Amino acid sequence: MAFFKIPNLVIILLTTVIFTIFAFTADRFLTLANIENILTGYSFLAIIAIGQSLTIMARGIDLSVGSTVALAAMVLFDATMIFELPGVFAILIALVAATAAGALNGLLIVYLRLQPFVATLATLAAYRGIVYAISGRQLYPELPTKAVTDPWIRWLGDFFDVERALGLGDFISLPWIPISFFILLIYAIAIGLLLGRTRWGLNLRTYGGSPEAAHLAGLKVNRLVISVYALCGFSAGLAGIILVGRFTTATEALGSGMELTAITAAVIGGTRLQGGIGGVTGPVLGAFLLGIILIGLTLLEISQFYQQILTGGILIAAIGYDRLIEKRKAV
């Protein structure tokens, strides 16, 4: 099971070290509530990061994920609030919309031969435009201040009380696990299997390692690339519906700037920007490492402006580290 293996030990070590430092320095860091906050606040990001890492593995990038998050959220909002569809259908439609948005990115890249950076930069703007255009909150004056009440959707933002479910409440205290974390687990396992156990996963690695070789080997490269971006869109869609569950509404600006955080998480998770190498555990750990750092710094009352600088710094450090390893290997 190569794709559940630790991508590199450094990230595990780094996460442990940073977690330990905060545990000792930041008041209220090592509490159940904080563990819950980290899980709730970053599970959805980990899901986006998994999708993002797939596009990076295919030597691409998806800058439109933030807008796709909003698109899925707004489609879900409209479906349940305007058309009053049952939650399950509304969720399905939202996921289909996000997957289609991702697939369109792939189509643009494959058939118009656009650079992934350019294609998804264009759709970043376009999808955000669609969100504003279809926003039920702009079209119907009574909707902006109404909350989504559908139980299916609300469930996505809910928590699972592990200790009560296991009947262990009298013995130990466990954090309440957000449903989004379970969705992340299931999704990570599914993508891990897809990468490690299927022809598709092998093809993706081959293509990422050398697109020319993949072409010569007769792989259906176009189909592969489109499917990768579709899956990335689906990931963003999952995140979008989770956020609607949590916020009980969809905001037009939802997810703006999230592409940077997702790329950062994927890269610190050991996804190589040159393609070919990556997995699911890396991006997931990367997302939670970011969460630990940002929440830890907030608890230490360090200004958020420094936190943003730090996020950029971490990205540079992760890429720099990756390059350094490359260079050593080359020598």
Partner 1 sequence: MSDTNITKSSRRALLKSTALGVGAITTGAFSATFSKTARAASADGEKMGVAFIQYVAHTVPAAWSKGIEEVLGSQPNIEYQLLDGQAKAEVQVSLMDTLINKGTRVIFLQPVDSVALAPSIARAKREGIAVITLNIDATEPHAAHIEMSHYYGAKDIAKVMGEKMGGKGKVAILNAPPGIIIRDQREQGFIDGLKEYHPDIEIVANQVADWSRKKAQDVFTTIMASNPDVTGVYGINDSMALGAVDVAKQKGTLDKMTIFGNDGEKDALASIEAGELTGTQYTDVYQQGRYAASVATVLVTGAVSARDFEKQGHLLMPYIIVTADNVSSITPEQRW
Select the residue interacting with partner 1 from 43, 203, 251, 281 (CB under 8 A).
251
248 binds partner 1 (CB under 8 A): yes
Decide whether 138 or 222 has the Cβ nearer to partner 1: 138
Stretch that binds partner 1, among 112-120, 216-224, 246-254, 321-329 (CB under 8 A): 246-254
Cβ proximity to partner 1, 79 vs 103, nearer residue: 79
Which of 65, 79, 97, 137 binds partner 1 (CB under 8 A)? It is 137
If one asks whether residue 302 binds partner 1 (CB under 8 A), the answer comes out as no
- Read off the amino acid at residue 28: R
Got the DSSP string for 279-326?
Answer: -SHHHHHHHHHHHHHHHHHHHTT--HHHHHHHHHHHHHHHHHHHHHHH
Is residue 252 a contact residue for partner 1 (CB under 8 A)?
A: yes
Q: How many residues bind partner 1 (CB under 8 A)?
A: 57
- CB hemisphere CA count around 310 (13 angstroms): 16
Residue 304 has a CB neighbour count (10 Å cut-off) of: 11
Work out which of 144, 312, 313, 320 binds partner 1, going by CB under 8 A: 144
169 lies in the binding site for partner 1 (CB under 8 A)? yes
DSSP string for 34-62: HHHHHHHHHHHHHHHHHHHHHHHHTT---
Q: Give the number of other Cβ atoms within 10 Å of residue 130's Cβ.
A: 17
Orientation angle between helical segments 281-299 and 179-197, nearest 10 degrees: 150
Dist. CA 165–CA 187, nearest whole Å:
22
**Among residues 126, 152, 154, 193, the one that binds partner 1 under rule CB under 8 A:** 154
CA–CA separation, 118 and 95 (whole Å): 24
**Could you list the residues that contact partner 1 (CB under 8 A)?**
15-16, 19-20, 23-24, 27-28, 30-37, 40-41, 135, 137-138, 141, 144-147, 154, 157-159, 161, 163-164, 169, 172-176, 243, 246-249, 251-257, 295, 298-299, 301, 304-305
